Structure 1
Amino acid sequence: MRDCMQYLPYMQKIDSTMFDTVLKLRQSYQSDIYTEKDVLKALSSYYTSVEELKILLSTEAENHIEALAKKAQNITKRYFGNNKGLFTPLYLSNHCNSKCVYCGFQKGNKIARAILDESEIRAEMKEISKSNLQEILLLTGEGREFASVEYIAKACKIAKEYFKVVGVEIYVLNVDEYELLHENGCDYVTVFQETYNPEKYQKIHISGEKTVMPYRFYAQERALMAGMRGVAFGALLGIDDFRKDALATALHAHFLQQKYPHAEISLSVPRLRPIINNSKISPKDVSEKRLLQVLCAYRIFLPFANIVISSRESKEFRDNIINIAATKMSAGVSVAIGEHSSEKKGDEQFEISDNRTVKEVFTMLKKSNFQPVMSDYVD
C-alpha cells in the first residue's frame, strides 16, 4: 500500500500549511471534555469561534439539540430568507481506476459499466431540463482514462446550453485543467475529502490516484485559482469519528474562505449508504439526531455558506432540515448512468433514500412556504 502523503509526478502542489493546520486541529479535538455551561455559552455568542465550533460538535451539545436547531434556523432565515435552491446530479460515467472500499464504482466491483457519449449527454440534459431545473451537477468515477478532462469540458459546454449553473464532482485536477472546465461553462467544483484521518484515509483508499490525500485536500483551492465561482466540501460521515471529520470539514471551508473571501462556499453532509455487492455499509454512530447536530453546527459557524442535503437521506429528514439549516436540496435524482432519457446503461454508485421528482419536491417547498430557487445566477 502506497503512502497517502506522496504526490504522483503529474500532481500540482500548492505552497500552503492549511492541510497540516486542519489535521492538527482534528487530531487534538476531544469532543467529550465540554460541559453544559460551555455549550450554553457557545450558543449565546454572536460570532462563533473555532473553539466554540468544537463545543457545538461535542457530545454534550447533542443534549441541547433543540437549542442548536433554533439558533441555526434563525441564522438561516436571517441570511437566506425563504429561498431554497434545487438541483440534480447527472452521472456521465461509472468507470473507475480507484479502489475505495465504500463506493459502488470502485475498481473491481462487478457492476454494469457505462459512459455517455455526446448524443446521450444531450438527451439526458434535454430530458432533465423539462423539469425547469436550471442547475446541474456532473459526476464521473475516478478515472481520467475513461472520462478525460476534455470529455468533461465538452459535457460542461453542452450543459450550459440547457442550464444556467453547472457544477462538477469528478476526480481532482490541476489548475490548468480546472481552467479548461471553467472556460467551457463550469461554475462550481465539489470535492468530498471522505475522511480527514490520514490513517483511515490510507486504509480505505487502496489504489488509484485518489490515494493521494493532500492532493485531494487542495483541490478546492486549485479550482478557485482557476476562476471557479464556488467550491463545496464534505466528509463521508460514518467512515471515521464523525465529530472530528465534521470539525475538519468546517475548518477546511473556513480557512479557504478566509484566503479567498470572494468564493461561494458550500457544505454537504453525506452519510454512508449501501452499495451494490455490499448492502451492509451503514453510517457508524451517525444517527439522524447527530446528523442534525452537525448541520446546525455548520450553519452557526458558517452563516453565509450554502448547506446541501442530498437524496441519501429520507424525505422526512430532508423536509425537516430544509426548515432548519439546509439551503439547497437535490430532486429528481438518479445515481445510475443514462436513466433520465432511456433505460439505465450503467449501475448506480449507491442507494438513495428520497426518490421524489422535481415536481414533488417543488410542491413540498411551496406548501411549506418556501420559495424554490432554480438558479441564483444571472447570465
Structure 2
Amino acid sequence: MDFINEKDIFDLIDNEKLNNISLQKEIIQKSKEAKGLSLKESAALLNINDKETLNELFHTAKEVKEKIYGNRLVLFAPLYLTNLCVNNCLYCAFRKDNKELKRKTLSLEEIKEETEFLVGQGHKRLLLVCGEHPKKASMEFIGESIKTIYEVKIKNGNIRRLNVNTAPLSIENFKILKSFGIGTYQCFQETYHYETYLKMHPEGPKRDYSWRLFAMDRALQAGIDDVGIGALFGLTDWKFETLALLSHAFNLDQRFGIGPHTISVPRLEPAFNAPVSQKPPFAVDDLSFKKIVAVLRLAVPYTGIILSTRERAELRRELFHVGVSQISAGSRTSPGAYKESKESVEEYQMEQFQLGDHRSLDEVVRDCCELGFMPSFCTACYRSNRTGDRFMELAKSGNIGKICVPNAISTFNEYILDFASDETKIVAEDFTKKELEKLDGPTKVKTEKMLQKINQGKRDIFF
C-alpha cells in the first residue's frame, strides 16, 4: 500500500507554501495543456480560497474537459440485482445488521422486466450493481443476469454497454467476469484512510482494505481493459480523499499504462438505518465538492468523471460546468424499483441511499440541451477495440473527441426519433442542428451520412 502514503498526503494538505495565489494561478495555467498535474500541484489547487482564482479554476476545468471530450455528457442508469449483503458498512442501508431493510434478489424474469423498462426509456448503457453476497451475487448469477440484459430488444432499443460494480474478485474470477462481455469494472475504495476504513467496515470480507485496494490491479491483470475507481466523500477529510484517489489513479497509470477509465465522486447521503449516513463525520459542502470535481479533471484530464443522482438537480447543473463527463439519470437504487416506476415507502425500505435528483431520463436530456451539453448514448469504443491503452492513447492526446462527438450526435438522434417526448424533441432537434454546424468539413459530411441512415430506420451507426 506504499502508493497511499498518508503522511505525505497530510503534509501536502498542511503545507502553507501551497496556499500562494501566484503559485495556484501558475498551476492552473499549466493545466490548460491537458497533460495532468502532480499530487503537489493538485494539493495547491485544493487549497484555493481566493474567489477570482477559484472562478479561474472552474472555468479551466470546463475548458480542459471540452478540449478532450467536447460538450457531451454520457448517460446511464444503475440496475440493482440484489440488496442482500454480508458486509456491515456503517454508512450503507444494505448492511447485514439492518434487520428492517426489505431484502430482495431479482429473478431473471424480473431482471428482464427491469431492463425492458430502462430500454423503453431510451437507455443504452447500464451499470449493474450487487450487494456483496457469495450466493445471491455469485459469478454464475451475474453471468446469467448479463446475458439476460443483453438479450432484451424492444422499440428499436437495446443495452449496448453493461458496466459492472461488484465486490473485488480474484484474477480467475475477473477473467470469468470479462468473458461475460462487460465494459468497465467499477469498485470504490469508499475511504482511503486506513483507520477510518476499518472503523466503517467492522465486519465482512469488505473489511480487508488491501484486497479492495488492489482489485483494479487484478482486474487489469485478468484482461479487463477499463476500470473505474471512486471514493465516498464524507467519511474523512475531503482533501485527503481527493489526493489519495489521485495517488491510486497515478499508480495504475504508472504500472499498467492504463489509468482509471472513470472516477466516481459520490457524496455520503442519508440511508435507511445507516447511522453514519445520517450525520456524515466529514460532510462536504457544495463549494468544496465543486473543487473536488475541478481538480480531478485537471489532474487526470483523460478520465471520465461520473456524477450520480445522489446530488440534487441544481448542483448537478453547476458540476456539468466544472468537468463532469458522465451522469446517471432516472435512477433507482433498490432491486425491482424501475418496474414499479414510482417512489413508495416500500422502495425507501429497500434502497441503498436516498436520491437528490428524481427527474426522468427525458427531463434530464432536455435540461442538458438547454444548458448547452450534448446527451450521448454512445457505446462505440467498446465494440471497436478502443479500450484500455488504445482508449488512453486517444484520450491523453486529445483525439478521442473527434470520434466521440460525431457518435454522440448519432446516438442522440436515435433517442430523439425513438424515445424523446414531443417537448424534448423540439429542443433536441434544434440543439443537434447547431452542434452539427460546429463540425469541420470531412467530419460533418461523415456525420450527416450517419444521420441519414438513422433517419432511414437503421440503428447503432457509429465510427
TM-score, normalised to structure 1, is 0.90
Aligned to 1:23: 5
Secondary structure in 1 aligned to 2:106?
A: coil
Q: How does 1:74-89 map to 2 (within 5 A)?
A: 74-89=63-78
- Mapped pair 1:111 → 2:101: yes
| 1:26 shift after superposition | 2.9
Aligned to 1:374: 377
Secondary structure in 1 aligned to 2:278?
A: coil
Secondary structure in 2 aligned to 1:21?
A: coil
Question: C-alpha distance in 1, partners of 2:355/2:217?
Answer: 30
Contact 1:90 1:335 in 2 (8 A): yes
| 1:192 shift after superposition | 1.0
Contact 1:336 1:347 in 2 (8 A): yes
Aligned to 2:292: 294
Q: How does 1:11-160 map to 2 (within 5 A)?
A: 19-24=1-6, 25-31=8-14, 33=16, 34-35=18-19, 36-45=21-30, 46=33, 47=35, 48-58=37-47, 60=49, 64-109=53-98, 110-160=100-150
Question: C-alpha distance in 1, partners of 2:118/2:80?
Answer: 12
Secondary structure in 2 aligned to 1:297?
A: helix
Residues 247-294 of structure 1 deviation map (CA, whole Å, 9 limit, x = unaligned):
111221122123233565211111110011246234734111000001
Aligned to 1:316: 314
Question: C-alpha distance in 1, partners of 2:205/2:48?
Answer: 35
Secondary structure in 2 aligned to 1:179?
A: helix
Q: 1:154 to 1:274 in 2, by over 3 A?
A: same
Q: Could you say which structure has the larger radius of gyration? A: 2
Aligned to 1:8: none
Question: C-alpha distance in 2, partners of 1:257/1:207?
Answer: 32
Aligned to 2:351: 348
| 1:62 shift after superposition | 7.8
Contact 2:13 2:239 in 1 (8 A): no
Q: 1:63 to 1:156 in 2, by over 3 A?
A: farther
Question: C-alpha distance in 2, partners of 1:281/1:192?
Answer: 21
Secondary structure in 1 aligned to 2:13?
A: coil
Residues 310-350 of structure 1 deviation map (CA, whole Å, 9 limit, x = unaligned):
11111011112112210010001000110112376770000
| 1:73 shift after superposition | 0.8
Contact 1:144 1:171 in 2 (8 A): no
| 1:111 shift after superposition | 0.4
Select the residue among 193, 205, 219 that pairs with 1:197.
193
Question: C-alpha distance in 2, partners of 1:263/1:53?
Answer: 17
Question: C-alpha distance in 2, partners of 1:263/1:227?
Answer: 14
- Given residue 91 of structure 1, which amino acid in structure 2 is its aligned partner? Y
Contact 1:93 1:140 in 2 (8 A): yes
| 1:61 shift after superposition | 6.9
Aligned to 2:432: none
| 1:79 shift after superposition | 0.5
Question: C-alpha distance in 2, partners of 1:330/1:283?
Answer: 26
Q: Which has the higher strand share?
A: 1
Q: How does 1:204-243 map to 2 (within 5 A)?
A: 204-243=200-239
Question: C-alpha distance in 1, partners of 2:365/2:281?
Answer: 28
Q: 1:296 to 1:62 in 2, by over 3 A?
A: farther
- Given residue 254 of structure 1, which amino acid in structure 2 is its aligned partner? F
Aligned to 2:248: 252
Aligned to 1:3: none
Question: C-alpha distance in 1, partners of 2:13/2:150?
Answer: 46
| 1:85 shift after superposition | 0.1
- Given residue 5 of structure 2, which amino acid in structure 1 is its aligned partner? L
Contact 2:252 2:258 in 1 (8 A): no
Question: C-alpha distance in 2, partners of 1:276/1:63?
Answer: 40
Question: C-alpha distance in 1, partners of 2:328/2:51?
Answer: 27
Question: C-alpha distance in 2, partners of 1:29/1:233?
Answer: 22
Question: C-alpha distance in 2, partners of 1:293/1:376?
Answer: 29
Q: 1:194 to 1:61 in 2, by over 3 A?
A: farther
Structure 1 stretch displaced more, 139-148 or 328-337: 139-148
Question: C-alpha distance in 1, partners of 2:220/2:369?
Answer: 34
Q: 1:318 to 1:209 in 2, by over 3 A?
A: same
Secondary structure in 2 aligned to 1:312?
A: coil
Q: Structure 1: 5+ residue runs without aligned partners? A: 1-18
- Mapped pair 1:365 → 2:363: no
Q: Of the two structures, which has the highest relative contact order with CA contacts closer than 8 Å and spacing of 6 or more?
A: 1
| 1:63 shift after superposition | 7.5
Aligned to 2:396: none
- Mapped pair 1:327 → 2:310: no
| 1:170 shift after superposition | 1.3
Contact 1:173 1:219 in 2 (8 A): yes
TM-score, normalised to structure 2, is 0.74
| 1:41 shift after superposition | 2.2
Question: C-alpha distance in 2, partners of 1:262/1:240?
Answer: 28
